[in-house]
Chain A
């Protein structure tokens, strides 16, 4: 029961790439319905304003404009407000202050881009031109654009039910113990750390095509979703668009998500509703400018942290205070990101007994903020790993040495922030990374660089994250409105080919290949005989979708569970037909055999037997199709060590990443090539955050970085050839031993980059992104400080 060529561990080329690289992918915007009209949204140019009036007459008078719809009509049709599906209580027990969010604003707009109306027209061009002709009268209000300012007394209030713009004031850990730990410390490292706000920028912008069938009272939505079943659930249960059996959601090929395509946005809701109002199919496709002002942003934390150490470098206490900007409205999972996905990881790879974190989530007049690749864990990792490296410098210790003194080495390990690490070998990852990065040779390279006038630096990051999201009862206890299991169905056809129906959704992860590999491995079949079906609520039984690096650890586990059932039935059929004991049946080389004999049936003969049902064991149902739901028992804990080496040009501040070494522990790896690709992409996004990317709003809440002219995306030339390695321990929590690899690169890399740059320039006071200007300013500050000494 193993297939070396296409089974677990094989570098199988991606089956889906033929259609992608030949331009034959089928994305939402490729969908063309009969009688299709186009939507264009009328959006607020103000960050905060009352809507006084909307005059549609000029737009309605244009030939080819089907209708202009507004929020009063939307709420009049009882379309529900957009909700956050994870209830987080403040430390005093009070519920979070969730402000009302209508898909089309009626009274008030709260960020630049907030939609107030939609034009439906015969062409996209006409819809956009007509949208400009809709005259909206606004009464501008004072703006709170920054999270820390929004909390200040007298700041403009964005939602009536959120006094002081506070959504919740939450804590985790034991403050008394953390204070005592700090009081006992012989050294305290204290830092103010910001985590820069990012725009997710998937290559394919969001899109929706909605169709209403009047006769059937049935809706179909094609959309760019990472989780079409969740979309259907939310659209039905909360937004009241249609009951679930009257709504089909299809997420066809999707060109990247990174979290931004988890949520159900105003545009998708409005297109569905508008298709019913106009009796036309309604298509909307975001352009890049619209994506910047509508896709949920990521990160945006301001923190202060104190970490205490004893004389031996052991951590005695760690205290964190964080302000998290959630934007103008609470997006679907926004509340969980700066709490259960962030503060629960603040123990890092370290044995910290005394730990406390306080998090205040805040409304601002900016785009809503939610999960973006890593979601909370990059913020935690950046904070801890900046602290550790800075502390090592202050203590005069090697960064690796200080970390190793504090590593967790016994598993399972319970942290004071409710996580139970199940496995890992942090020393092994550190050693592998140090060897691969030739840390011993660094001083020589630094000296050589100095001769060329360049400042060379080395930085570490030892990350741990929690993914394989998530045990349903556990997250339910923490406020999640959904369970986070996954489902799968394994269909063996009468000819023996196999279809896997999965609730996971592939939008770049290569599931059509990796999911087929575990089937090829299990039944020793050619991978060509396996097809993966996903992304359609009418085809797949149910699914919670793909995010939080869950498709391997959770999605594939559901497939394994269904394959267990299929195998049990195959054994029964074979034992019956071959007159043998089930225990003697082996599945191998396309056959189902009796061990030690020449008695065998072809795999396809078993399929045929199951469906003809001419000769099955007594009482056995015909058919060979099994389904399973898998609910994980714990998170999984990928971990690793990243080492970054940079060269800084002191004249300009321009920094080059000259070497980036990764040693990851992902547990079992199904396809090393795809895993390396995931790490490469994650590192690119992490280096992008560290050195280039930043969403900037001005004090009026206007987005300064609203295009690629000002928002810097990493380019190929900005990135080095990565040195990617694995030193894995098996995850004990799921049948394949997998941990997940989708987010690790983005989580672990930013602190390694900044630690390297601060090492090079001799100034720990540097914020992301380390643009040439920011690095040059830090260099000037360092030389000014030196001159003053």
Chain B
């Protein structure tokens, strides 16, 4: 690892100031991708601004029918929360399946969402559940937030403070792990809500997480395993690598969608 500095921000203002003072400074929200990347000399931030100690960044609350999760809340805390299990059991179960125990006890929802790894689990949940990303500057619908591989709508100095989830009538996430990394080779999140059916896919898209129109149409018409398996998802825009061709991923999208529907 290259030499770097560590700053524990006491407030959002503190963090914004530190980030503004140095172009090469970056936020540390859990570091489960960042630290590994730094160890490989693939990233060299001059300063790590730790946002986990900022008031209000950690914690889970219910505001009416809306579930609010502080951005620095760990995956393990989300998975273990009674509020999350009651409000969005699919989200609790997704969080319980991220990485391994070490990752789940350090990695945070805000870190995962801001990193937008194309094989991460959380972005699929946010998209399918129609979540809202809350920052120190604004609120954004998940649909407007994710922007290609590792890309988001976040501006300079903008820090995610929380994620808000509406309640779904039925939802579930099914993941087929890439054999080596155990990241999602294909992960499909299905949700049935007030606005109809939303289906998101992670791990498979050339441009990262995406909503599947064919699956939304099929499941909107018929919320069943058979409808998911029969959907024509095609291979356009799907990734091909040593672990899965676009064709294999297309098959897995249907199979995982069907399994998600079965368990929703």
Residues on A facing B (Cβ under 8 Å): 125, 128-129, 132, 289, 651-654, 692, 696, 704-705, 708-713, 771-773, 776-777
Is the beta-carbon distance between B181 and A776 smaller than 8 angstroms? no
Q: Does B180 contact A (CB under 8 A)?
A: yes
Is the beta-carbon distance between A771 and B40 smaller than 8 angstroms? no
Is the beta-carbon distance between B242 and A776 smaller than 8 angstroms? no
| Chain B residues near A711 (CB-CB < 8 A) | 180
Closest chain A residue, CB of each to CB of B40: A289
Closest chain B residue, CB of each to CB of A653: B248
CB distance from A491 to the nearest CB of B (A): 47
Known: A129-B2, A132-B41, A771-B179. A705 touches B252 (CB 8 A): no
Cβ-closest 3 pairs across A and B: A712-B180, A709-B181, A712-B179
Q: Does B243 contact A (CB under 8 A)?
A: yes
Which of A129, A654, A696, A772 makes the CB contact (< 8 A) with B242? A696
Is the beta-carbon distance between B2 and A710 smaller than 8 angstroms? no
Closest chain B residue, CB of each to CB of A776: B248
Q: Does B255 contact A (CB under 8 A)?
A: yes
Residues on B facing A (Cβ under 8 Å): 1-3, 40-41, 176, 179-181, 183, 242-245, 248, 251-252, 255
CB distance from B4 to the nearest CB of A (A): 11
Is the beta-carbon distance between B251 and A772 smaller than 8 angstroms? no
Is the beta-carbon distance between A772 and B181 smaller than 8 angstroms? no
CB distance from A719 to the nearest CB of B (A): 14
- Would you mind naming 18 contact pairs between A and B with Cβ atoms under 8 Å apart? A125-B1, A125-B3, A128-B41, A129-B2, A132-B41, A289-B40, A651-B251, A651-B255, A653-B248, A705-B180, A705-B242, A708-B180, A709-B183, A710-B180, A711-B180, A771-B179, A772-B179, A773-B245
| Chain A residues near B176 (CB-CB < 8 A) | 652, 654, 772
Which of A289, A653, A692, A710 makes the CB contact (< 8 A) with B181? A710
Which of A128, A710, A777 makes the CB contact (< 8 A) with B248? A777
CB distance from A770 to the nearest CB of B (A): 11
Closest chain A residue, CB of each to CB of B255: A651
CB distance from A95 to the nearest CB of B (A): 38
| Chain A residues near B180 (CB-CB < 8 A) | 692, 705, 708-713
Is the beta-carbon distance between A710 and B242 smaller than 8 angstroms? yes
Give Cα A696 to B183, complex, Å: 19
Closest chain A residue, CB of each to CB of B251: A776
| Chain B residues near A653 (CB-CB < 8 A) | 248
CB distance from B229 to the nearest CB of A (A): 9
CB distance from B203 to the nearest CB of A (A): 13
CB distance from A599 to the nearest CB of B (A): 65
Give Cα A128 to B3, complex, Å: 12
Closest chain A residue, CB of each to CB of B1: A125
CB distance from A713 to the nearest CB of B (A): 8
| Chain A residues near B40 (CB-CB < 8 A) | 289
| Chain B residues near A125 (CB-CB < 8 A) | 1, 3
Closest chain A residue, CB of each to CB of B179: A712
Is the beta-carbon distance between A652 and B41 smaller than 8 angstroms? no
Give Cα A708 to B183, complex, Å: 12
Of A653, A692, A711, A771, most B-chain CB atoms within 10 Å: A771
Is the beta-carbon distance between B179 and A692 smaller than 8 angstroms? yes
CB distance from A60 to the nearest CB of B (A): 19
Q: For the complex, would chain B's binding face be called helix, strand, loop or mixed by DSSP majority?
A: loop
Give Cα A704 to B3, complex, Å: 29
Which of B1, B181, B243, B255 makes the CB contact (< 8 A) with A773? B243
Closest chain B residue, CB of each to CB of A692: B179
CB distance from B108 to the nearest CB of A (A): 21
Give Cα A125 to B242, complex, Å: 33
| Chain B residues near A777 (CB-CB < 8 A) | 248
CB distance from B261 to the nearest CB of A (A): 14
Give Cα A766 to B183, complex, Å: 25
Is the beta-carbon distance between B244 and A773 smaller than 8 angstroms? yes
| Chain A residues near B243 (CB-CB < 8 A) | 710, 771, 773
| Chain B residues near A773 (CB-CB < 8 A) | 243-245, 248
Give Cα A692 to B242, complex, Å: 12
CB distance from A190 to the nearest CB of B (A): 28
CB distance from A694 to the nearest CB of B (A): 8
Give Cα A709 to B99, complex, Å: 12
Is the beta-carbon distance between A704 and B181 smaller than 8 angstroms? no
CB distance from A119 to the nearest CB of B (A): 14
CB distance from B236 to the nearest CB of A (A): 19
CB distance from B228 to the nearest CB of A (A): 11
Give Cα A713 to B179, complex, Å: 9
Give Cα A473 to B203, complex, Å: 57
Closest chain B residue, CB of each to CB of A696: B242
Which of A652, A696, A710 makes the CB contact (< 8 A) with B252? A652
Closest chain B residue, CB of each to CB of A693: B180
Give Cα A776 to B1, complex, Å: 41
CB distance from B189 to the nearest CB of A (A): 18
Closest chain A residue, CB of each to CB of B249: A773
CB distance from A767 to the nearest CB of B (A): 14
| Chain B residues near A776 (CB-CB < 8 A) | 248, 251
| Chain A residues near B2 (CB-CB < 8 A) | 129
Beyond the given A652-B255, A704-B242, A708-B181, could you list 18 further A-B residue pairs with CB under 8 A, ordered by the A residue number? A132-B41, A289-B40, A651-B251, A652-B176, A652-B252, A692-B179, A708-B180, A709-B180, A709-B181, A709-B183, A710-B181, A710-B242, A713-B180, A771-B243, A772-B179, A773-B243, A773-B248, A776-B248
| Chain A residues near B1 (CB-CB < 8 A) | 125
Closest chain B residue, CB of each to CB of A769: B179
Give Cα A289 to B39, complex, Å: 11
| Chain B residues near A772 (CB-CB < 8 A) | 176, 179
| Chain B residues near A652 (CB-CB < 8 A) | 176, 251-252, 255
CB distance from A199 to the nearest CB of B (A): 12
Closest chain B residue, CB of each to CB of A771: B179
Closest chain A residue, CB of each to CB of B180: A712
Give Cα A336 to B202, complex, Å: 47
Closest chain A residue, CB of each to CB of B245: A773
| Chain A residues near B179 (CB-CB < 8 A) | 692, 712, 771-772
Give Cα A773 to B242, complex, Å: 9
Give Cα A289 to B41, complex, Å: 12
| Chain B residues near A710 (CB-CB < 8 A) | 180-181, 242-243
| Chain A residues near B181 (CB-CB < 8 A) | 708-710
| Chain B residues near A713 (CB-CB < 8 A) | 180
CB distance from A412 to the nearest CB of B (A): 44
Give Cα A692 to B182, complex, Å: 13
Give Cα A125 to B255, complex, Å: 47
Give Cα A652 to B229, complex, Å: 12
| Chain B residues near A129 (CB-CB < 8 A) | 2
Give Cα A128 to B2, complex, Å: 9
CB distance from B24 to the nearest CB of A (A): 16
Closest chain B residue, CB of each to CB of A710: B180
| Chain A residues near B245 (CB-CB < 8 A) | 773
Give Cα A313 to B2, complex, Å: 66
Closest chain B residue, CB of each to CB of A709: B181
CB distance from A135 to the nearest CB of B (A): 16
Give Cα A750 to B135, complex, Å: 53
CB distance from A708 to the nearest CB of B (A): 6
| Chain A residues near B255 (CB-CB < 8 A) | 651-652
| Chain B residues near A704 (CB-CB < 8 A) | 242
CB distance from B250 to the nearest CB of A (A): 11
Closest chain B residue, CB of each to CB of A654: B176
Closest chain A residue, CB of each to CB of B248: A773
CB distance from A766 to the nearest CB of B (A): 15
Give Cα A370 to B108, complex, Å: 44
| Chain A residues near B248 (CB-CB < 8 A) | 653, 773, 776-777
| Chain A residues near B251 (CB-CB < 8 A) | 651-652, 776
CB distance from B226 to the nearest CB of A (A): 13
| Chain B residues near A651 (CB-CB < 8 A) | 251, 255
| Chain B residues near A132 (CB-CB < 8 A) | 41
Closest chain B residue, CB of each to CB of A694: B242
Closest chain A residue, CB of each to CB of B181: A709
Give Cα A708 to B3, complex, Å: 25
Give Cα A708 to B179, complex, Å: 10
CB distance from A698 to the nearest CB of B (A): 10
Give Cα A712 to B243, complex, Å: 10
